[in-house]
Structure formats: C-alpha cells, structure tokens
Structure 1
Amino acid sequence: MKAVVVTGYGPPEEYTVGDVPVPRPGPGQIQVRIAAASINPADVRLPSGDFRDVVPLAFPHVPGNDFAGTVSEVGDGVTAYQVGDEVFGQAVPRALRAMAGATRPSLSTGSLAEYAVFEADTPFLAHRPAGLDIEQAAALPTVGLTARALMAVAGVQPGETVLVVGATGGVGTAVIPLLAAAKARVIATATAADAAALRALGADKTIGYAESEYPSDVDVALNLTLPSDHLAGVAGAIRSGGRLLTITYPVPQQDWIGRDDVGLHFVLDMDGAFGGMREVGELAVSGGLPATVGRRYTLDQGAQACVDFVRRHTTGKLVVTM
C-alpha cells in the first residue's frame, strides 16, 4: 500500500511517500481503508527524535493519528464494527499513551496511509455520524478531544475572560466556539490576517503574539503553542486565583511560571476521561464543534503536508485525502 514513510529520526523534509506492507488486524482490532487523515504535532515530533528515549519508534514508521475511513476487515472477537462501517477516530501510539499514564495503550498503525489497523474497543474510535463529512471527521479527533478536555478542566463561567495563546491552530479554532457558547469573553492571539476568521468563530478580540499585548487580570489562559517552560509572560496576564492551562511539553512546574497564586494545569487526555469520539461527533453534528480545514493534500503530497505543518502558518487543520 502507499503511505508516508519515515526511515529514521529527522525532520519532515526527509519523509517520503512509498510502498509498505498492508497491516492486518489481530484479535480485537479492525483494519480501516483510510479516506482522509489530518496532521498533529505528535506526527512530526515523534519522528524528529525529541522523545526517542521515552517513545522509541521502529522504522520504517508511518506517521498519523487522526483519520476517517471504512472498515475493511475485522479481527477475531470484534462485534461493535462490521466490514463497510464508516468510522473515525484517533490512534495515538502505544508508547505515547503509556508515557502519559494511560492504562490502555493504543495498538494502532499510522493513518497517513491507504490502510491502518486500530483497536476496536476504545473511546477513541466511533462510527462516523451521517451529518459529518469525511474531511471534518478526519480533522476533528485530536482537536475535538483536546478542546473538550480544556473546557472540562478550565470550568469557565459566564462572563469570565479567557486568553487563548496560539488560537489559529486546530485546537484553538475548536475551543473558541466552545468558549463562546459558555458565554466567556475570548481574547485570542493571531496575525492581522487571521483576526476576522477567529472573530467569526466567536473571539471577542484578537491581539498580536507579543507579551506586551497581553491583557491583564484575565480569569483563564489557555496556552496552545508556547513551550510549557516559557509561560511566565502568559501567567503574568492572569488575575490572582485564576487558571493557566497548557497542552504543550515539557510538563510544566509551578515554579516555572513565577506565580503561586495561579492554578496550573497540564491537559492531556489519554484515556477518554472527558468523553471520546462519539461525544465529539455528536457535538460536531449539532454545530457546536466546527472543523476548520486550512489546507488540503493528496496522499502523494503527504510528505509535503508534514513539511508544511512545521514550516508554514496555517489556520485550522491540514487534511490529507487518500
């Protein structure tokens, strides 16, 4: 089958598109004919070697976590899915889930390929709702799960002011509508070119990326892009007793932010504690969780899509169709 192939640790410029064996499902697994996949930070961070000591990869490696497609084969013991079912989901690698303390690591293969294998009994796999198209379904898994987790941990109340740092990416464009629905006042960092798009999603105000433009005394700050050991500036924008949530590595420490009067939370849901793909799909179909697709690629362009994810600014998700 055709797939994006990584042959060793390195930058995405070294990825290629080539042929690899078709993975076959074992007991409790399904094989999916992938229709579309989207790219997330882990898809390029793991092959870069940044986490090789805790998340070693076997090469050749096929990257990709988020997907939508059709069940093409089922393994022994699978009853929830049948050949022909339309599905979507997320397949974070076993080692990454284990590193985050997950009790049921993933056994999946990469989704930037014509076929992939996934666990059948997991909250990160679900039937694709009829009202959710292929591209939306492929774009939503990681950002939808993360946005829901952020909302659950933040506990945003009506009238609270929320600063979203790194608002133009997939998670930012997913969480802003949820914040708006919660009746929060949303201030989002963005370029001037992206400001109108974020306001259309529900942001009340956009500002530049410089710390000097940050507001003061916000109730909540969501960091979606800065390394978690560089958050003192973000913390300085938060009122005493406020909350700072981050989704980036390294796992943050309280003394790094220079504030002991701000609640610090590292948000990474690896066990579906805040709901799985079924809940994400239901929310998306209801209109509460839009999928913003910024760029589209074919599988033949899949390696370039990974390069663009790292090197080019994009609002929303990069989606690869097979």
Structure 2
Amino acid sequence: MKALVARGYGGVELLELTDVPVLVPGPGQIQVRIAAAGLNPADLRLVSGVFREAAPLTFPHVLRGDFAGTVTRTGEGVERFAPGDEIFGFGLVRSAGSMASVAAMPPSFTTGTMAEYALFEADTPALAHLPAGLAAGQAAALPTAALTALPLLRAWDFTAGTKVLVIGAAGGVGGAVVPLLAARGVHVIATAIPADEGYVRGLGAAEVIDYRSVEVTDETLRRHPEGVDALVNLALPGTSLPAAARAVRPGGRLLNIAFPGPGPDSGFETVYTKARPGDLEEVGALAVKGVLPDTVTRRYDLDEGVRAYTDLAHEHVRGKLLVTVSAG
C-alpha cells in the first residue's frame, strides 16, 4: 500500500511517499481503510526528534494524523466495531506510551494514518462511529482540534458575557475553540491577520485584533481597560506569554495549549488533548448540528502528502489541511 513516511528524524525534506506492507490486525485491533487524514503540527514535531526520548520512532515511520475511514478487518475479541463500519478519530505511535495514555484512556495507538490502511486499538475513546450526516473529510479534521477545545472549555467556567482573548484563532484548534465559546455566549476577542478576519468572525469572534499591526496586549487593554476574563493561547511560545497575561483582569484565567509551554511559575495552565468516553461522539453530534463547522481550507491527494506537510511547515495556514486517501 502507499504511505507517507519519514526516512529519519528531521524536517519535511525527509518525507516521501512509498510502499509499505498492509498489516493484519491482532487481538483487540481493527484494520481501517483510510478515507481522509487531517494534518496537525504535532505530526511534524514528532518526526523532528524533539520527543525522541519520550516517543522514539522506528523508521521508515508512517505519519500519524486525525482520520476518517471504514473498518475492513477486526482482530480477535473486537466487539465494538465490525467490517463496514465508518469511523473517525486519532491515534499515536505505540512508542508514545505515556503521551498516548494522557490523550486517551485506554490509550489510542495506530500504525500511521497517512496511508491507505492503518491499524488501531479498538477499545479507546479516541475512536467513534461516524454519525449520519457528517462527511468523512470534515470528520477527519475534527479530533485533535475538538478534543483540545473540550478540555479547554472544561478548565474554567466560560459563561455568557465572559470576555475571552483567543490568541491564534485562525489555526486548526481555533476552528473548534472559537465556535464552542461563541455557542456559550462568550464574547470572543480573536487575534488574526486581516485576510483571516472574515473567517474568524464566521467562527463566532465578536472582535478581531490584527497582531501584525498592533501590540495585542496594549490593544486589548485599550478596548477593555478592565482587562479580559480569560486568555486562551493557541499559538504563542511560552516565553511570550508573561507579557500577554497583562491583558487579563485580576483573578482571571490563563490557559495554554501551545508548544513549548510556559514555565511552572507563569500562572498559565497548559491543557492537553484528551479523549474521555463519549467525547468524540459529542464532537460528531456538534458537527452535525453545525456548532462545529467544517474548517478544512486546503485538500490534497495522498500523492501530494509531502507538499501538504511542506505547506503546513512553511506557509500561513488558516483552518485545517486535509489529505484525501484512495485505497487500492
């Protein structure tokens, strides 16, 4: 089968499309024919080597990502899924160990989703049946973004009328965070370039700050002298966050998902992607209702997978990038 692999630790220059064996599911596993796979920056961080001690890779390494597809075979003991079931979700490489356990319990492992077929552990909340009315392409872009947004919203009481500054609103996770906050009646102040203003307002942002033309903290305080109730950082590195925290009123909340995160004394709480039982089903239902919109802005074939990751690494990306996979 065709698969997008990394030949070793490094950048996108070490990615290539090649042929790898189709694997047979073992006990508790399912084989899935991948219909579409969503890209995440974490995919590239993993192959860069920054996590090589915590999650060492074996090469050639098939890139992972969010996915949607059809179950083709099941291993011994699998009752939750059957051949022909359409599903979506995410998985991490088995060597991720504790990282996968944080993301879901039982943990979610995969042989890599940037391929025509992939194996997954069946018994994990990071997989779910694809609900009727949800297209595979949209579903494949949802898991990491939405399963990061849900823990963020659970980390504080975001009630109607709350003022929240969202830094990096036009990115992949912003496409879930902003509409979920807006659905609660939160007044979202989003940072974005002018070309993305219409997009983030469409997600539900009430105000937009062009971070390239003004200093965001100063501009936020100019508009809201008392400060905002919370800051949700989806983009800035940890070293930049202490200055941004000035925009938050005393007693407000500081939440972060970006890597590298802030130090332990920064006042920020770093929130990680997490799939609890029922979360992915909730995500699918919210997407069907239109609360979570389709944020895919660029689509590629699997043959264009290297270009997709090159664009992710080197270009300004709005929303989500998606690779459509045609199984042989």
Same fold by TM-score, threshold 0.5 exceeded? yes
- Aligned counterparts, 1:1-322, within 5 A: 1-96=1-96, 98-99=98-99, 102=102, 104-209=106-211, 212-214=215-217, 215-216=220-221, 217-255=227-265, 257=266, 264-270=268-274, 272-273=275-276, 275-322=278-325
- Deviation, 1:125, is 0.4
Distance 1:218 1:5 in 2: 44
Q: Which amino acid aligns with 1:179?
A: L
- Deviation, 1:140, is 0.5
Give CA deviations for 1:91-146 in whole Å, capped at 9, x if unaligned.
12334451475353333111000000011111010110111001101011111111
Distance 2:277 2:109 in 1: 21
Q: Which runs of 5+ in 1 are unaligned?
A: none
TM-score computed with the length of structure 2 as normaliser: 0.92
Percent identity between the two aligned chains? 53
Distance 1:96 1:74 in 2: 23
- Deviation, 1:90, is 0.9
Q: Which amino acid aligns with 2:94?
A: R
Distance 1:153 1:269 in 2: 12
TM-score computed with the length of structure 1 as normaliser: 0.93
Distance 2:17 2:99 in 1: 29
Give CA deviations for 1:180-230 in whole Å, capped at 9, x if unaligned.
111111111101000011111110111122572331311111111112233
The CA RMSD over aligned residues, in Å, is 1.6
SS state of the match for residue 155, structure 2? helix
Distance 2:92 2:33 in 1: 18
Compared with structure 1, are the counterparts of its residues 72 and 304 closer, same or farther at alpha carbon in structure 2 (3 Å cutoff)?
Answer: same
- Deviation, 1:45, is 0.5
Matched-pair contact (CA < 8 Å) for 2:100–2:109: no
Distance 1:145 1:167 in 2: 16
Compared with structure 1, are the counterparts of its residues 284 and 97 closer, same or farther at alpha carbon in structure 2 (3 Å cutoff)?
Answer: farther
Distance 1:312 1:6 in 2: 20
Question: How many aligned residue pairs are there?
Answer: 315
Distance 2:30 2:173 in 1: 28
